[in-house]
Amino acid sequence: MLEVGDSVPTFDLEAGTGERVGTARLRGSRWVIYFYPKDNTSGCTIETREFGQALPEFSARGVRVFGCSVGDAAAKKAFAESCDAAALPLLADPDHQVAEAFGVWGQRTFAGNTYMGIARTTFVVDPEGRIEHVFADVKPTGHAAEVMAVLPS
């Protein structure tokens, strides 16, 4: 997993909002990327809804926020809309290459089943493209506020 001070890997992904989001376009701004395991699951819905509700406050601080998970852009759009977070860009990482590059893809266990998937993790990235803060083993409820608390006001 990437750590504080590491440079973020280069990526360019399609968001459910229809825009392309990549490191080249984000250079010069602070941003947050939260990796979540799966669309339409209870924890991911809570997390995405909370980030969507907090989007105006993040924007007021000049911080962009992106969710990222496996799947296609159409699924990301539908999921964001179902969370009342249509303006929140959810990035489609269909081959989990970006999740792997950030170090959040791997063997997971849930309800006694082992599978390959995303570990719920959030990264705050500084304007130079370096990791400024890492939240690992995230609990969805209250997480958007937790991230907001580490950002400059």
Annotated active-site positions, please? Answer: 44
CA distance 126 to 141: 24
Task: Spell out where the chain has E strands.
Answer: 12-14, 20-22, 30-35, 63-69, 90-92, 105-110, 113-118, 121-125, 131-135
- Cα radius of gyration (the chain): 14
Burial label, 58 (beta-carbon count in 10 A; 0-12, 13-18, 19+): buried
Six-digit token string for 123: 């990264």
* 13 close to 98: Cβ distance less than 8 angstroms: yes
Query: What residue type is assigned to position 123 of the chain?
Result: F
